Amino acid sequence: MPWIKQSECVGCGACVNVCPVGAIYVEKGKAFINEEKCIHCGKCLNICPFGAIQHNSTNPNFKKNASHSKNKK
């Protein structure tokens, strides 16, 4: 699933316009992804002119959560 690096987002809305299920919205000048609506199509990944939308493999919070889950098993 994609994630939005908030420090890079300028709230331009390019990602909102390309999302086929309306999972991305802009609030207070920043884009957010509704994880329940997102279908993981990846259309938003390359559309951001500022590189704010990235794959989860680059998300430091995802990596922490993934390694934490593995340690629990």
- pLDDT tens column, 18-41: 999 999 999 999 999 999 999 999
Give the separation between CA 25 and CA 55, rounded to whole angstroms: 18
Average pLDDT of the residues of the chain:
86
- pTM score, two decimals? 0.78
Read off the pLDDT band of 71 (50, 70, 90). very low
Residue in this structure with the two tokens 């316009």, named with its chain if needed: 17
End-to-end CA distance of the chain: 23
Q: What domains lie within the chain, and their CATH numbers?
A: 2-72 (3.30.70.20)
Buried-exposed string 39-72: b where 16+ CB fall within 10 A, e elsewhere? eeeebbeebbeeebbeeeeebeeeeeeeeeeeee
